[in-house]
Structure 1
Amino acid sequence: MKTIMITGTSAGIGRATALHFANKGWNVIATMRCPEKETELTKVQNVWVTHLDVENKESIQTVIEQGISKFGEIDVVVNNAGYGAFGIFEAATEEQIQRQFDVNVFGLMRVTKAILPHFRKNRKGVIINVTSEGGRVTYPLFSLYHASKYAVNGFTESLLYELSPFNIRVKIVEPGPTKTEFTGRSRDAIQDTRLTDYSEFEQKINLMYQSLFDPEQIASPELVAGVIYKAAIDPSRQLRYHIGSDLMIEREELNDNEFIGKMAQRFGIDIE
C-alpha cells in the first residue's frame, strides 16, 4: 500500500482528496490544525488524522517522522493548505500580508523541505502543489492571494529541475472556481472603512462576483481530488494539471492587453 500525506484536510479539496485516495486503497496521513474536531475522516480505516500547522516547522517534522514510522514510507505529499485574502490591497495590514504568504507560500515550502530528505533517500516521491487558476489568471480584489499562487507556480516549476535527478516528480494542480469554503472560513476579508475612495469600486465588484460564475461550470472538490490522484500516479514529467473554466485558454491565446481588457470588461471596469 502506498502512503500519501495531505495538508488542509478539514474541508473542501483536502477532505475530498483524503477520501478519494483512501477509497483507492492508499494509506492517508490527513493533516489539519484542529484534528480534535474531525468526525468523518477518523472513521475511515486507512486514514490517520493528525495535527499539522504549516506555520509551525516542528509540527511538520513531527508528522513526517511519525508517518514514516507508522507506514514505513511516504510516497506522495499534497500541499493543499491555503486560503485567500480578499479586499483592497491598500487596506491590508502587515499581518494580513505576512500571513497570506506564510500559509500559502512559506508553509508549502516548509512541508516540501521537510519531506525532501526522505524522498532523496528513497530516490522517489511525488510533490503535488495545489495552486489555482489564480496562479496564472487574476481577479479584482485578490491581489495578495494571486501573488501567493504566482509565487508557488514559480517555485514549483524551478524545483522540478533540481529534483528530477532524484526521480522526485513535482506537479501543479490548478483548480478553477470550485465548490469549497473558499468564500467562507477560508477567506480573510481585508477592510479599512477610512478608505472611502474605494467604496464604490468594492461594492460593484462584490455584486459582480455574485453573478459572474455559472454554477454549472464550478468544479466539485471530488473532481479536483480525481485530478490530484491522476497527477500522483502519472509517471510522466507533466507539470500542470488544470481543472475549470476556459479562462486559461484565453490567457494563453491572447496578449496581455487583450486578456486584461476582456477581464476588465467582465467586471465592468474602465481601465482606459
Structure 2
Amino acid sequence: MKTILITGASSGIGEATARHFQANGWNVIATMRDPSKGDALAALDNVAVVRLDVTDAASIPAAVSAGIDRFGKIDVLLNNAGYGAYGALEAFTMDRIRRQFDTNVIGLLEVTKAVLPHMRQNRSGTIINISSIGGQITFPLGTLYHGTKFAVEGLSEALHFELEPLGIRVRIVEPGMIRTNFGGSSFDFAMDESLSDYAPTAEAMGRLFGKLASNPSTPETVAEVIWNAAHETSDRLRFRAGADAERLLDERKSLGDPSFIEGIKKLMRE
C-alpha cells in the first residue's frame, strides 16, 4: 500500500486529496497547522493526522518522521499549503511580504528537503507542487502571490532535472479558480486608505475576479488531477486543473505578452 504526505490538508484541495487517495486504498499522512481540524480525516482508515506548519521549521522533520514511523514509507509528497496575498505592494509591511514567501516558497522547500533523503534512499518517489494559473499569468495587485507561484514553477522545473536521475519525479499542478476558502482564511488583502491612487485598480480587480470566479471548479476536480499526476509514468511536468485553467493558459501561450496583457486590461475596463 502506497503513502502520500499532504501539507495543508485541513480543508479545500488538501482535504479533498486526502479523501480521494484514502478512498482509493492509499495511506495518507494529512498534515496541518491545527490537527484538531482534522478529526473527520483521522476517523478514516489508514489516515494519520499530524501537525505540520510550513513556517515552523521544527515541525517539518517531526511530521515526516511521524509519517514514516506510522506507514514505513512516503511515496508521494503533495506540497499544497499556501495562501494568496493581494493588494498594492506599498500597502504590505515587510513582515507580511516575508510571510507570503515563507509560506508559499520557503516552507515548500523545507518540506521537500525533509522528504528528499528518504526518497533518495529508496530511489523512488513523486513530489507534486501546487502552483496555479497564477504561476504562468498575472493579475494586477498580485505582486506577492504571483511572485511566489512563479517561484514554485521555476524551482519545480529545476528539481525535475535534478531528481529524475535519482528515480524521483516532480510534477506541477496548476488549478484555475477553485471553490475553496482561498477568498477567506487563505486570502490576505492589503489596502491602505491613504494609497487612493490604487483604488481604481482595486475596484477593477474586484470586477475581474468576479468574472473569473463565476464558475469555479471543485477541490475534488483538483484532487483527481493530483491523482493522475501521482500515477503518470512519463516525464510530463505540468498538469492543469479546471476548464478555465486550460483556456487561460492556452490563451497566454498563443497570444504572447502584448495581446494577452491588453486582454486583461480590457476585461478590467468592462
- TM-score normalised to structure 1 length: 0.95
Task: Give the direction of change, closer, same or farther, for the CA distance of 1:201–1:214 in structure 2 (3 Å limit).
Answer: same
1:237 aligned to which of 228, 231, 235: 235
Q: Distance in 2 between matches of 1:135 and 1:96?
A: 20
Counterpart position of 1:268: 269
Residues matched between the structures, number: 267
Q: State the one-letter code of the partner of 1:19.
A: R
1:224 aligned to which of 201, 222, 225: 222
**Matched-pair contact (CA < 8 Å) for 2:28–2:47:** yes
Q: Distance in 1 between matches of 2:38 and 2:127?
A: 25
Q: Distance in 1 between matches of 2:230 and 2:199?
A: 44
Counterpart position of 1:254: 255
Counterpart position of 2:13: 13
SS state of the match for residue 199, structure 2?
helix
**Matched-pair contact (CA < 8 Å) for 2:177–2:212:** no
Q: State the one-letter code of the partner of 2:265.
A: A
Q: State the one-letter code of the partner of 1:35.
A: P
Q: State the one-letter code of the partner of 1:27.
A: N
SS state of the match for residue 223, structure 1?
helix
Counterpart position of 1:151: 151
Deviating beyond 2 angstroms after TM superposition, the runs of 4 or more aligned structure 1 residues are 207-214
Counterpart position of 2:48: 48
Q: Distance in 1 between matches of 2:13 and 2:2?
A: 20
Q: Distance in 2 between matches of 1:207 and 1:263?
A: 12
1:114-133 to 2 correspondences below 5 Å = 114-133=114-133
Percentage of matched positions with identical amino acids: 49
Q: Distance in 1 between matches of 2:24 and 2:48?
A: 15
| Residue 65 (structure 1) shift | 1.0
Q: State the one-letter code of the partner of 1:231.
A: A
SS state of the match for residue 192, structure 1?
coil
SS state of the match for residue 224, structure 1?
helix
Q: Distance in 2 between matches of 1:176 and 1:211?
A: 13
TM-superposition CA deviations, 1:186-227 (whole Å, max 9, x none)? 001112121122223322322332244332xx2110010001
**Matched-pair contact (CA < 8 Å) for 2:5–2:29:** yes
Q: Distance in 2 between matches of 1:204 and 1:153?
A: 27
| Residue 67 (structure 1) shift | 1.1
TM-superposition CA deviations, 1:138-169 (whole Å, max 9, x none)? 11221110000000100000011110111100
**Matched-pair contact (CA < 8 Å) for 2:207–2:268:** no
Task: Give the direction of change, closer, same or farther, for the CA distance of 1:202–1:30 in structure 2 (3 Å limit).
Answer: same
| Structure 2: gaps of 5 or more residues | none
Counterpart position of 2:81: 81
Q: Distance in 2 between matches of 1:208 and 1:228?
A: 28
Counterpart position of 1:201: 201
Counterpart position of 1:166: 166
SS state of the match for residue 8, structure 1?
coil
| Residue 6 (structure 1) shift | 0.2
**Matched-pair contact (CA < 8 Å) for 2:26–2:46:** yes
Q: State the one-letter code of the partner of 1:258.
A: S
Counterpart position of 2:136: 136
SS state of the match for residue 181, structure 2?
coil
Counterpart position of 2:188: 188
**Matched-pair contact (CA < 8 Å) for 2:50–2:66:** no
TM-superposition CA deviations, 1:95-116 (whole Å, max 9, x none)? 1110110000000000011111
**Matched-pair contact (CA < 8 Å) for 2:91–2:190:** yes
Task: Give the direction of change, closer, same or farther, for the CA distance of 1:256–1:59 in structure 2 (3 Å limit).
Answer: same
SS state of the match for residue 174, structure 2?
strand
Counterpart position of 2:111: 111
Counterpart position of 1:59: 59
SS state of the match for residue 53, structure 1?
coil
Q: Distance in 2 between matches of 1:9 and 1:143?
A: 26
| Structure 1: gaps of 5 or more residues | none
